[in-house]
């Protein structure tokens, strides 16, 4: 089984008090930057209650999913610093939260893309508009699905005291075919296909619209927004699921480089918590305007800036 390969790679590459500098640096950057970005995103979303659309509801839940994932990173950083003090059960529970929030993010990104597509391509359909109003229920269903599907896998796992490698050992969902293939198909394959289809329909609808042809709307800018959202999704999750498939195919004898690629692809997937807020800013006009207003208000409150503004306001009078 893959656990043996994981144990061999662990024993070759680690000492009892090992320090993995790459995971420490990557997870620390994600922790700091991702926390700031997502907290700002939530503050902006909640402060703009009047302009809260159905898409914003998905974005709020996406920011919450990102923050929940980020909350698992401090213990990962502690472990990779060389403090092997975490129980295997706690490591598995942290892996459960991380996995559930990765797939919550995937489904929420898919919902954002589909919601935009329906709003643009079928704006006059009463059924579509009624369906879009069910965004809170859809978000609740996503949370129940992702956590509900993950918990039985971890609670059924038998932990052996002599196999305590915490985050260096492969999770059960990366080695069991009955778990891997449904995860790849339902958790990544279907959302990716739907996002590609919706993105194509969005670009097609924008380019064919009479408003875009009359130069009242910058269709190239909208196309770039759509491409940005799709690119964030593919960069974040395609490497991870590709290596997950390769690991499952070589589960009887996994090469150590493949295990290393799996762990690095997991770091890339966690980087989605930083990329999501960037996508909010560049693809949502309301979010960008509110950020500009809030940042401007904070800037004006700074003592040095307030003194310079007072001088500018007094300058015409003095002259």
For residue 62, name the pLDDT band (cuts at 50, 70, 90): very high
3-state secondary structure 247-287: HHHCCCCCCHHHHHHHHHHHHHHHCHHHHHHHHHHHHCHHH
Most confident of 53-57, 155-159, 186-190: 186-190
Is residue 212 predicted with pLDDT exceeding 90? no
Superfamily (CATH H level) for 2-298? Rhodopsin 7-helix transmembrane proteins (1.20.1070.10)
pLDDT of 177-202, one tens digit each? 777 888 889 899 999 999 999 888 88
Task: Give the separation between CA 131 and CA 127, rounded to whole angstroms.
Answer: 6
Please choose, from the candidates 192, 292, 184, the residue with its C-alpha nearest in 3D space to the C-alpha of residue 242: 184
For the entire predicted model, the pTM comes to: 0.81
**Location of structure tokens 């807020």:** 277
Task: Give the separation between CA 147 and CA 132, rounded to whole angstroms.
Answer: 24
- The percent of residues above 90 in pLDDT, for the chain, comes to 25
Domain boundaries, the chain: 2-298
pLDDT of 128-142, one tens digit each? 788 888 889 999 999
pLDDT of 296-310, one tens digit each? 443 444 454 444 444
Task: Give the separation between CA 287 and CA 14, rounded to whole angstroms.
Answer: 45
Task: Give the separation between CA 43 and CA 279, rounded to whole angstroms.
Answer: 16
Least confident among 52-61, 105-114, 116-125, 280-289: 280-289
pLDDT of 11 reads: 46
- CA 65, 244, 253, 257 dihedral sign is negative
User: How buried is residue 281: exposed, middle or buried, by Cβ count under 10 Å (0-12/13-18/19+)?
Assistant: middle
For residue 295, name the pLDDT band (cuts at 50, 70, 90): very low
pLDDT of 171 reads: 67
pLDDT of 86 reads: 76
pLDDT: is 305 or 116 the higher one? 116
Q: DSSP readout, 186-212? A: IIIIHHHHHHHHHHHHHHHHHHHSHHH
Q: What's the rounded mean pLDDT across residues 104-118?
A: 89
pLDDT of 286 reads: 61
Residue spans of beta strands (DSSP E) within 34-110: none
Contact assessment for residue 70 and residue 310, using Cβ atoms and an 8 Å cutoff: no
Is residue 113 predicted with pLDDT exceeding 50? yes
Q: Which two tokens stand for residue 9?
A: 């790679």
- For the chain, what is the mean pLDDT? 77
């Amino acid at each position: 089984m893959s656990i043996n390969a994981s144990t061999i790679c662990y024993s070759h590459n680690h000492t009892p008090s090992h320090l993995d500098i790459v995971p420490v640096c990557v997870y620390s950057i994600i922790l700091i930057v991702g926390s700031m970005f997502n907290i700002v995103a939530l503050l902006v979303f909640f402060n703009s209650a009047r302009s809260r659309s159905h898409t914003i509801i998905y974005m709020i839940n996406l920011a919450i999913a990102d923050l929940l994932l980020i909350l698992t990173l401090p213990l990962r950083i502690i472990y990779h610093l060389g403090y092997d003090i975490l129980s295997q059960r706690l490591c598995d529970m942290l892996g459960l939260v991380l996995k559930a929030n990765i797939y919550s993010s995937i489904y929420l990104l898919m919902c954002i893309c589909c919601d935009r597509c329906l709003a643009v391509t079928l704006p006059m359909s009463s059924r579509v508009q009624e369906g879009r109003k069910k965004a809170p229920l859809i978000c609740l269903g996503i949370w129940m699905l992702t956590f509900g599907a993950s918990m039985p896998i971890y609670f059924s796992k038998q932990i052996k005291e002599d196999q305590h490698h915490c985050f260096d050992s492969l999770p059960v969902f990366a080695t069991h075919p009955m778990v891997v293939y449904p995860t790849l198909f339902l958790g990544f394959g279907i959302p990716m296909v739907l996002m590609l289809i919706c993105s194509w329909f969005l670009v097609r609808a924008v380019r064919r619209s009479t408003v875009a042809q009359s130069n009242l709307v910058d269709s190239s800018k909208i196309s770039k927004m759509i491409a940005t959202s799709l690119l964030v999704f593919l960069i974040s999750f395609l490497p991870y699921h590709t290596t997950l498939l390769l690991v499952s195919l070589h589960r009887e004898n996994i090469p150590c480089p493949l295990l290393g690629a799996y762990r690095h692809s997991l770091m890339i997937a966690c980087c989605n918590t930083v990329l999501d807020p960037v996508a909010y800013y560049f693809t949502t006009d309301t979010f960008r305007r509110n950020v500009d207003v809030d940042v401007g208000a904070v800037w004006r409150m700074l003592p040095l800036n307030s003194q310079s503004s007072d001088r500018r306001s007094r300058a015409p009078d003095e002259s």
